[in-house]
Structure 1
Amino acid sequence: MARTPTLTFDRGTLIIHPPPRGKAWMDYATWDDRVEKFRLPAIQYRSVVEALQAEEVDFIDEAKEFYPLDLVVTLEMEPYPHQSEALAAWKLAGRQGVVVLPTAAGKTYLAQMAMQATPRSTLIVVPTLDLMHQWYAHLVAAFPDAEVGLLGGGSKDKTPILIATYDSAAINAESLGNRYGLIIFDECHHLPTDFSRVIAEYAIAPYRLGLSATPERTDGKHADLNILIGREVYRKRAEDLAGKALAEHEIVQIKVKLSQHEREKYNQLIQTRNDFLRDSRISLGSIQGWQMFVQMSARSQTGRRAMLAHREAKEIALGTDGKLRILANLLAKHHPERIIIFTADNATVYRISQELLIPAITHQTPVKERHEILTKFREGVYNTLIASHVLNEGVDVPAAAIAIILSGTGSTREYIQRLGRVLRKGNIANKQAILYEVVAEDTSEERTSARRRGMEKSNEPQRHEERKGKTGKKGHLQVVYGTGKEKSTKAAEQLEINYSTKRNEDSSDLT
């Protein structure tokens, strides 16, 4: 009598033996001479199981170690309409997909709703230790009877609900892969890297939720999210939620003129750089052009002078004294409101901190000191703080109402995240948030500002055409992610996923 095929999990892959009848499963299988059995990618677990069930093939599932949870919720709030819509859209997509919401729009609570709607052992993956501890505090409060653990920062728990950093989850992907039925990828734009993507590829989780304010990546790898998590199922912008889930907000750009001495020096430095670029036939209008500039600058004395001139010109634009005068005026204007100041470099952070006696946070700030500064800022002991890049992601400061960007990169993600620092309503009625962007006039900063706000213009026909809507182009954030098609979310309320992995097990339908 023929043996029943058995599906097993093996260090981030699946093995099925003996080969079942039917053909559908073979689309995912590769013969492995080392073990003389068919091997399948773990990420294809759901597809394989559903294919076998569709052909009514009896099999034994020994791969799955995830299981149902009895989640008793004590932290429940009335969801915003966009949260309910996003959950319904995700359910309609088979509980696989990416939800794009602006910073401060309640992505953590949406994830809690997804966990309640899909009560299975759950892995939550986050980019930083700060976010890991924020998630832990939220989920312990939401599900006090559930076992919630941590993986990362010295913790190595094995719990039904586990919160892990991307680094720790990737390192342990082979052992985590079959233990969780639902994976939530917070800030999911971190996933499609060569190092982190194994978290999704080595996992059999049939249910996956990606969360991000800006899933698009400059390297174009955001398209891989369609495979690793699922397609984009819902999107809202900050302006869509202003006055509702988010505070009303205003974005004000202030242009600062360089002093006569700064202007003369800046123009001289830019001329030195441009002469070299012209002679070397290099255009800085692309990533490839910049890479060529870096390579050529290392090959000659003239190239090194051009690179040094480029950097010195940038420092003049970023740190012009005119910006400090504007900053002092803004601080006086909005005193005693809580203000966050952002810069692109640590040198400017420390300079302003010393001259204006403002608490500073950089990547060099010790953890305890950073925690103390943020605590005093939330409590109102400090009204102002200044940071470089470390507050872009994963910091909850609902009391902040004013953000001032003195300098930054051309990253749309960074811009949206910095805006998000002041969009949380908190308990402030009729909160009016303001984002000031202080830019040195007639410098490269104007182009940087236009790029991060998605308003860059170009005289180059080819690049202009790429910006007009061709999707999937690398180095360009105006890409359309997902299908762009709208679906009715009402159908998800009656949707049932008839998903079970054993013929004789109790129904595991989800609604």
Structure 2
Amino acid sequence: MPIKRKALDSGRSSRASKRPTPVPDIGSSDEYSDYEDEVKDDNLKDVLEKFSLESFSNQKSAVQRQDPNFGYKDFSSLSLKPDHANRPLWIDPLKGTITLESFSPLAPQAQDFLTTIAEPLSRPTHLHEYRLTGNSLYAAVSVGLQPQDIINFLDRLSKTPLPESIKSFIVDFTKSYGKIKVVLKHNRFFVESTDPAMLQMLLQDEVIGSQRLKGAEGIIQQAAPKMGGLVIPGTRDAAGVKQASEQKPEDAAGEARKEDDILLAIRDDDDDDEQAQVHSFEIPNEAVEPVKARCQAMGCPALEEYDFRNDEINPTLDIDLKPAARIRSYQEKSLSKMFGNGRAKSGIIVLPCGAGKTLVGITAACTIKKGTIVLCTSSMSVVQWRNEFLRWSNIDPGDIAVFTSDNKEKFRRSTGIIVSTYSMVSQTRARSHDAQKMMDWIQSREWGLMILDEVHVVPASMFRKVTSAIACQSKLGLTATLLREDDKIKDLNFLIGPKLYEANWMELAEQGHIAKVQCAEVWCPMTTEFYSEYMREKSRKAALLYIMNPRKFQACQFLIDYHEKRGDKVIVFSDNVYALERYALKLNKAYIYGGTPQNERMRILENFQHNEQVNTIFLSKIGDTSLDLPEATCLIQISSHYGSRRQEAQRLGRILRAKRRNDEGFNAFFYSLVSKDTDEMFYSSKRQAFLVDQGYAFKVITHLQGIENLQGLAYSSPRERRELLQEVMLQNETSAEVEHVTDDLFSGRSGGQARKGGVKRSAATLSGLAGGEDMAYIEYNRSRNKQLKDKVGHHPLFRKLERERLKRKKELEDFMR
């Protein structure tokens, strides 16, 4: 029976936010941390602290006293309901933690509701854990839930009577939270609320009252918005509307029927109940930011909504999903959170890698049908986004433009789509003439939707530069890992909007939407020579010793051989470029890192995807994101970025796309090679924490059966291992550092000035250099990259000319005879 282990809990290091530059610290391993000056708006931090459950609990006088045996986890005072066995929820009255029995018949309904009102913490097979927070209640209110609805639901499913502390927490945090909305209608801004008393309180404020538009009506009362005739493309409703509208009308009256009436006939859940009323007053365009800032300071942050169907000033974009495009149920659910009341709410959607985040963004653009700007992390992502728009939608290629360092084009008509990178838009240094002209054109327009890909990498100050530079009505953030090691992810709830939806990874895997992955940690013993040097080494080179461990190299070689023979496509990841090149050259495999030219990258990736002779590639950290390789079925990790949980999840995402082959059980494999009894084991357990919380179990492999019988096993003799050790020890400390990627976001901010290359002096005799003392000149294997380059076929015209030349040469030789 294989050993299974759950990763240790990963607490955040208190030192992470105090260092001016990043160092190899397991508590702050996110390379995109923002190390600039503190954000100017100090109110953000105050609001974040104000809406935390811990601060709320500390304000209450009736705090549970600590039990000497059980600490604060003694809940014996809570009485169980008579039918508690049939109810699936346990609720911690102090921390707001909700434990769900996922095996309960009521679990599916409970999961949907809990995902809306609470933050998912851990979702393994049998027990799921959620936590009520200010941000989660913020999201619940934004989709229309009322405090009493939340309380009633929790009380109905809880095994114990709902604690008063939880009730008061929900009521206190939702009575004013999300009740205020800033809405753009007919190109006029309105402050809107369902509670007239709330608006009266705002008007009595000195700042907000003075910003009210003079000469306008008083408080306006009208019916609250509903979905009405709004149809999200790619759904069953959209297909029904299209089918009904294409039917031949029986009479003239039938011809006048509109899509709104068709949709109302399709939907069974629409009723004629009394419609809620909404109250509002108008403010000028320039007062939007001051009003939002003041509402935030008053403890009632204003939600942003865009009434795009009544926007008559901005031109409508001719875009829709292609007829064959159908979005999946979880994608439709996430978009229904965004367009729940017929308007576009700003917020964040969290889906695992390979689950179709790009299609969600494209469908949102097809729903709003206004000018859209898409921001990505790299130039490679820009190309992929443009291709996906052309693949899934019917947009004219001339209506979608690219703004990168190499391309600065505009769309041809009055509106369209721009795809760019964060760095291009937020750059503060002097631009080229063409780039500045393009940026001025982008800033002069009003955009209906801004899509932020991989939104977790955007620091607060950088996002402010982006939003201040570009005028947009709604913002949609997309990510697979709403996670940062520096805990700044909370900023996004106020800078973009609440988390609208988060999918369950294991549920999607069971439904076949993403691959079923077997995760394994392979323990590789250190050889005597390497471990002796590791124990003596005090510098960064110690990391290089456990990365270049010969036993780890042999395990990597064995796994590549095993999976290639069973028909898998293998990706090997290494953050350390020196190790990446040594492994790839020794095994004669192609590799890509930050210094690989763009054309060579594309050639290697095309061969990996379509050439049966190229089944393994080595990648540095540039492959962590923005790399679409659905053919890959096996991933091997030989070195990583210390304890980064986000990187572990992103790398797993490279093999998460649903596979074409229908193998029973697992159809993808994730191996993390770890040198035993080194710091790497501690980093590995920390890295696994996020994936374990998503329900993945890591199997520990202590011995690879049959590895000793592999032909051509590298470093199998003591002499080879000593030669490798000598080579590793001759490297300077910079060889032990992880790669600094220049094609990704903000890599230049990840630590101030670059370290200069070090030099190590070594005394040796000529006989030593000639082969004595285990030292020798080494002739490296020829790079597989160059072999692939040599195999590139010539153009048919040149092949024809070459054949004719050889033919003439042969005829001449025959004539001379």
Q: TM-score, normalised by structure 1?
A: 0.68
Compared CA separation, residues 136 and 326, structure 1 to 2 (3 A) = same
Bigger Cα displacement from structure 2, 195-204 vs 129-138 = 195-204
Give distance in 2, aligned partners of 1:162 and 1:25: 40
- For 2:339, what is the secondary structure of its paired residue? helix
Distance 1:455 1:112 in 2: 28
Q: How does 1:34-183 map to 2 (within 5 A)?
A: 40=287, 66-74=314-322, 76-92=324-340, 94-141=344-391, 142-145=393-396, 147-159=399-411, 160-171=416-427, 176-177=442-443, 178-183=445-450
Structure 2: tracts of 5 or more residues without a match? 1-186, 190-202, 212-283, 296-301, 303-310, 428-435, 692-817
Which amino acid in 1 is paired with 2:409?
D
Q: Distance in 2 between matches of 1:387 and 1:43?
A: 47
Residue 454 and residue 175 in structure 1: after superposition, are their counterparts in 2 closer, same or farther (change >3 A)? Answer: farther
Q: Which residue of 2 aligns with 1:435?
A: 670
Deviation at 1:429, TM superposition (A): 3.3
Partner amino acid, structure 2, of 1:397: L
Asked if 1 retains the 8 angstrom alpha-carbon contact of 2:347 and 2:498, the reply is yes
Q: Aligned pair 1:310/2:539, yes or no?
A: yes
- Deviation per CA, 1:402-452: give whole Å up to 9, x if none: 000111022111111111111112533347000001111111111111111
2:207–2:294 contact (8 Å) kept in structure 1: no
State whether structure 2 residue 506 is matched by structure 1 residue 253: no
Cα 1:185–1:268 change in 2 (3 A) is same
> Hey, what's the Cα distance between the residues in 1 that align with 2:353 and 2:610?
21
Provide Cα deviations, 1:339-389, integer angstroms capped at 9, x if missing partner.
000012100110011100000000000000000000111113410000110
Question: Partner residue of 1:18?
Answer: none
Question: Is 1:332 aligned with 2:561?
Answer: yes
> Which one has a bigger Cα radius of gyration?
2
Number of residue pairs matched? 381
What is the CA-CA distance between 1:44 and the residue it aligns to? Answer: 7.2
Kept after mapping to 2: 8 A contact 1:67/1:181: no
Output the CA distance in 2 between the equivalents of 1:82 and 1:263: 49
Partner of 1:353: 584
Q: 1:343 to 1:44 in 2, by over 3 A?
A: farther
CA contact (8 A) 2:207 2:291 kept: no
Deviation at 1:251, TM superposition (A): 0.3
Deviates more, 1:341-350 or 1:111-120: 111-120
Q: Which of 411, 428, 431 is the equivalent residue of 2:644? A: 411
Distance 2:353 2:395 in 1: 26
Letter in 1 for 2:394: F
What secondary structure sits across from 1:209 in the alignment?
Answer: strand
Report how far residue 143 of structure 1 moved: 2.7
**1 CA distance for matches of 2:292 and 2:370?**
16
1:420 aligns with 2:650: no
Measured against aligned partners, the alpha-carbon deviations of 1:159-195 in whole angstroms (never above 9, x if no partner) come to: 3211111111223777535421111100011222433
In structure 2, relative to structure 1, the CA distance for the partners of 1:28 and 1:70 (3 Å cut) is farther
User: Structure 1: how far apart are the matches of 2:533 and 2:588?
Assistant: 29
User: Which whole-Å CA distance do the structure 1 matches of 2:289 and 2:407 have between them?
Assistant: 26
Aligned mates of 2:288, 2:576 — CA distance in 1: 43
How far apart, in 2, do the equivalents of 1:205 and 1:156 lie? Answer: 20
- Structure 1: distance between partners of 2:589 and 2:209: 58
Structure 2 CA distance for aligned equivalents of residues 227 and 319 of structure 1: 44
Are 2:714 and 1:450 aligned?
no
CA-to-aligned-CA distance 1:119-164 (integer Å, 9 cap, x gap): 1111111001111000111112323336000111322233321111
Amino acid at match of 1:71: I
Q: How far apart are 1:453 and its partner, in Å?
A: 1.2
The residue type equivalent to 2:520 in the other structure is: V
Counterpart of 1:402 (choices 634, 651, 654) is 634
Comparing 339-348 with 193-202, which one deviates more in the overlay? 193-202
Name the structure 2 match of 1:232: 499
Contact 1:29 1:40 in 2 (8 A): no
Deviations along 1:26-78, whole A, 9 cap, x unmatched? 44999xxxxxx995466979999xxxxx9xxxxxxxx9974322213326422
Report % sequence identity: 24
Residues 370, 448 of structure 2: 8 Å contact kept: yes
Instruction: Give me the whole-angstrom Cα distance separating, in 2, the residues matched to 1:64 and 1:45.
Output: 24
Pair 1:75–1:368, CA change in 2 (3 A)? farther
Whether the 8 Å CA contact 2:381–2:626 is kept in 1: the answer is yes
Does the alignment pair 1:378 with 2:609? Answer: yes
Tell me: CA distance 1:426–1:23, structure 2 relative to 1, closer, same or farther (3 Å): farther
Compared with structure 1, are the counterparts of its residues 7 and 164 closer, same or farther at alpha carbon in structure 2 (3 Å cutoff)? same
Structure 1's unaligned 5+ residue stretches are: 1-5, 9-21, 31-36, 49-53, 55-62, 270-308, 457-511
Q: For the Cα contact (< 8 Å) 1:72–1:145, is it kept in 2?
A: no
What SS does the corresponding residue of 2:355 show, helix, strand or coil?
A: coil
The answer on whether the counterparts of 1:189 and 1:222 sit within 8 Å (CA) in structure 2 is yes
The offset of 1:225, in angstroms, is: 1.1
Aligned-residue CA RMSD (Å): 3.2
* Residues 189/197 of structure 1: CA separation in 2 closer, same or farther (3 Å cut): farther
**Is the Cα–Cα contact under 8 Å of residues 103 and 420 in structure 1 kept in the other structure?**
yes
Structure 2 matches for 1:261-280, cutoff 5 A? Answer: 261-269=529-537
Contact 2:460 2:492 in 1 (8 A): no
Match among 551, 557, 567 for residue 322 of structure 1: 551
Q: 1:324 to 1:92 in 2, by over 3 A?
A: same
Counterpart contact for 1:183–1:208, Cα < 8 Å:
yes
Distance of 1:38 and 1:88 partners within structure 2: 28
Q: Secondary structure at the residue paired with 1:390?
A: helix
Mean alpha-carbon deviation: is it higher for 315-324 or for 186-195? Answer: 186-195
SS of residue matched to 1:197: helix
**Number of the residue aligned with 1:217:** 484
Moved more, 394-403 or 374-383: 374-383
Equivalent-residue separation in structure 1 for 2:406 and 2:531 (angstroms): 51
Distance across 1 between alignment mates of 2:395 and 2:339: 25
Check whether the contact 1:148–1:161 (CA below 8 A) recurs between aligned residues: yes
- Give the SS at the match of 1:437: strand
Deviation at 1:332, TM superposition (A): 1.5
Q: For residues 366 and 322 of structure 2, what CA distance do their matches in structure 1 show?
A: 12
> Which whole-Å CA distance do the structure 2 matches of 1:230 and 1:358 have between them?
45
Distance 2:610 2:332 in 1: 32
CA 1:217–1:115 in structure 2 vs 1: closer, same or farther (change >3 Å)? same
Q: Aligned partner of 1:252: which letter? A: A
- C-alpha separation in 2, matches of 1:143 and 1:437: 42
- The amino acid across from 2:455 in the alignment is C
Range moving further from structure 2, 400-409 or 446-455: 446-455
